[in-house]
């Protein structure tokens, strides 16, 4: 940029002009992967269709040498390197994405696990076997050079092998005092929804490995401490204060993996508002719902991503996850004989349960809703996350399942025959209508399935049947599993958001296999079910209930 130094340009980019807010720190210190002129010039030149590709590429030589060569090249071109020369620079100094990983198959791998034999439908059984084989395709381990030269990689070293989600996501999800948004240096200041404690519970259920729990209980405590220290917010209602949690990432600059999009979006705002925008985008990414009307509603610009306000909301799902984790931690410490810590977490859960009931629960509609801290009211739009406490077992009213079922009926969610929609809002964002996501199906299906009501259990099965057929039909057409599905006009790969729909796909495969394991003796690969209209729901359930009674 003629007549300007790079430092001045960077200040302007970050919105640090006179009268603007104070700069937030970058997501990490790397002047290649997290901030700086090199990152800015490469990403704004859009050398790759997906910005994430560049920040996932390893360096060929030491970062100091790369930066020195770049600085000289940039100075020679007045801080605006022509695209062809920039491309040549990247090709010379960076390696292709994924070079630091090699295939891995678990040592205890079984080609034909026992649960396959429980699946009655022959087509579904063959399909489940094919999905099981995908784990080998997604299994990875790191090459030794990631350990010997960590400065050359955005990938964070792990000695243990792991499963990647697939597609553009070729990193692990691992503990680092919290679970980062991904196993890359540029993700370190963002967490993931806190599910590590639940993972431990699943592991213990299958192995009964108390020694492993003893060795790692403090790691689990670290994650919950991270949310307490960094993501707690106080809500005052009717003279009482309640402590709950939110997504919140006070770090500046565009997200490195979506740099050009964030920079261009910021250009639509005054300079003084850009740092806040970038922090809210990171908070949205931390939630896993990047992005959704959930984080836009209630603000001055609810139809644009520039109006995102993630940190201004207290999310139902986040607090249900933490409530569940606190209950599990109490159980773990009791198992280990540490009564004082068990009591601590039992008390924390009781306090959170009271806060959920007071702040997020709505008796009239029979569901929980995100709470808007600025507008001091609930966001009563439909999202499957509204029923997360049912899935997490974080409620005290024994009639909750019946109320949740009525909520689904009243919202007409049971009329969608290809899956549960992520919302009823059409925004073009990927975590909105018409997309449906596997984890959200799991939240609702297992939440209902845990209920003591036969009616709720049967609706859970019907929802599972719909989702299995959508996934099976798309796989039959495309020979692939996808991260999300469009349920608006028959099941198809999903769309919207910041990138093309990804194949793989870890959580989609996992939820399908879990449902086939649970309901394999009943699920079929045949024609789609009819709509579950509320007024005919009883008629739909009656044959199954009669069969259940006659079978006793």
Annotation marks residue 290 as catalytic: yes
**Residue 150 gets which letter from DSSP?**
G
Query: In this structure, what are the phi and psi dihedrals at residue 219, rounded to the nearest 5 degrees?
Result: -65, -40
Residue 72's CB is within 10 A of a number of other CB atoms, namely: 10
User: Distance between CA atoms of 301 and 234, rounded to whole angstroms?
Assistant: 25
Angle between helices 316-335 and 339-355 (to 10 degrees): 160
Query: What residue ranges in 315-445 does DSSP mark as E strands?
Result: 361-362, 367-368, 371-372, 377-378, 435-437
Query: Could you tell me where the DSSP H helices lie in 253-315?
Result: 259-266, 274-287
Residue 432 contacts residue 422 (beta carbons within 8 Å) = yes
Q: Pick from 332, 331, 262, 253: which is nearest to 291 by CA?
A: 262
Q: What is the CA radius of gyration of the chain?
A: 24
Residue 216 contacts residue 332 (beta carbons within 8 Å) = no
Residue 184 contacts residue 156 (beta carbons within 8 Å) = yes
Residue 383 contacts residue 368 (beta carbons within 8 Å) = no
Look-up: residue for tokens 């068990």? 342
Residue 261 contacts residue 51 (beta carbons within 8 Å) = yes
User: C-alpha distances in angstroms, 267 versus 27, 42, 56, 153, 496?
Assistant: 20, 18, 25, 30, 22
Please enumerate, as own/partner, the contacts of 476-483 that have beta carbons within 8 Å and a separation of 24 or more.
481/131, 481/134, 481/505, 481/508, 481/509, 481/512, 482/508, 483/165, 483/166, 483/167, 483/437, 483/507, 483/508
DSSP string, 213-246: HHHHHHHHHHHHHHHHHHSEEEEEETTEEEEEE-
User: Distance between CA atoms of 394 and 357, rounded to whole angstroms?
Assistant: 10
User: Distance between CA atoms of 164 and 155, rounded to whole angstroms?
Assistant: 13
**Burial of 376: CB neighbours in 10 Å, binned 0-12, 13-18, 19+:** exposed
251: left (phi over 0), alpha (psi -120 to 50) or beta: beta
Q: Catalytic residue among 51, 280, 290, 442, which? A: 290
Annotation marks residue 483 as catalytic: yes
Q: Catalytic residue among 201, 432, 442, 483, which? A: 483
Task: Cite the active site residues.
Answer: 290, 483
């Amino acid at each position: 940029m003629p007549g300007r130094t790079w430092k001045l340009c960077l200040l302007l980019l970050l919105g640090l002009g006179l009268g603007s807010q104070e700069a937030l720190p970058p997501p990490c210190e790397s002047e290649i992967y997290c901030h700086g002129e090199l990152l800015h010039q490469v990403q704004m030149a859009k050398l790759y269709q997906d910005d994430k590709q560049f920040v996932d590429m390893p360096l060929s030589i030491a970062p100091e040498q790369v930066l020195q060569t770049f600085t000289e090249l940039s100075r020679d071109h007045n801080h605006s390197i022509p695209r062809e020369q920039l491309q040549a620079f990247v090709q010379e100094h960076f390696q292709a994405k994924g070079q630091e990983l090699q295939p891995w198959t678990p040592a205890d791998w079984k080609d034909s696990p026992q649960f396959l034999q429980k699946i009655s439908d022959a087509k579904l059984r063959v399909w489940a076997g094919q999905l099981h084989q995908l784990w080998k395709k997604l299994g990875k381990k790191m090459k030794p050079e990631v350990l010997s030269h960590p400065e050359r990689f955005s990938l964070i070293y792990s000695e243990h092998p792991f499963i990647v989600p697939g597609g553009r996501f070729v990193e692990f999800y691992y503990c680092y005092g919290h679970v980062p948004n991904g196993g890359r240096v540029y993700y370190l200041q963002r967490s993931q929804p806190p599910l590590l404690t639940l993972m431990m519970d699943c592991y213990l259920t299958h192995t009964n490995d108390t020694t492993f729990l003893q060795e790692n209980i403090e790691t689990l405590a670290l994650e919950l401490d991270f949310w307490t220290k960094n993501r707690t917010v106080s809500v005052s209602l009717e003279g009482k204060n309640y402590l709950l949690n939110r997504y919140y990432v006070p770090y500046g600059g565009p997200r490195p993996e979506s740099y050009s999009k964030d920079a261009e979006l910021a250009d639509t705002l005054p300079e003084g508002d850009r740092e806040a925008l970038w922090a809210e985008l990171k908070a949205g990414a931390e939630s896993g719902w990047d992005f959704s009307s959930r984080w836009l509603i209630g603000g001055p610009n609810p139809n644009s991503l520039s109006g995102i306000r993630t940190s201004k909301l207290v999310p139902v799902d986040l607090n249900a996850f933490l409530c569940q984790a606190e209950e599990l931690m109490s159980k773990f410490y009791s198992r280990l004989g540490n009564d004082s810590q068990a009591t601590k977490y039992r008390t924390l859960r009781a306090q959170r349960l009271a806060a959920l009931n007071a702040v997020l629960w709505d008796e009239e509609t029979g569901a929980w809703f995100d709470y808007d801290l600025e507008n001091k009211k609930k966001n009563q739009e439909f999202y499957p996350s509204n029923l997360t406490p049912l899935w997490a077992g974080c409620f005290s009213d024994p009639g909750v399942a019946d109320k949740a079922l009525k909520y689904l009926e009243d919202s007409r969610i049971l009329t969608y025959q290809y899956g549960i929609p992520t919302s009823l809002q059409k925004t073009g964002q990927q975590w909105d209508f018409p997309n449906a996501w596997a984890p959200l199906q799991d939240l609702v299906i297992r939440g209902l399935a845990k209920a003591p009501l036969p009616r709720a259990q049967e609706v859970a099965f019907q929802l599972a049947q719909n989702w299995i057929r959508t996934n099976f039909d798309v796989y039959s057409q495309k020979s692939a599993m996808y991260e999300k599905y469009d349920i608006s006009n028959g099941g198809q790969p999903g769309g919207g958001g910041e990138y093309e729909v990804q194949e793989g796909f870890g959580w989609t495969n996992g939820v399908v296999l879990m449902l086939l394991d649970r309901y394999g003796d009943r699920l079929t690969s045949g024609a789609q079910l009819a709509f579950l209209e509320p007024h005919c729901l009883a008629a739909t359930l009656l044959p199954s209930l009669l069969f259940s009674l006659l079978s006793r």
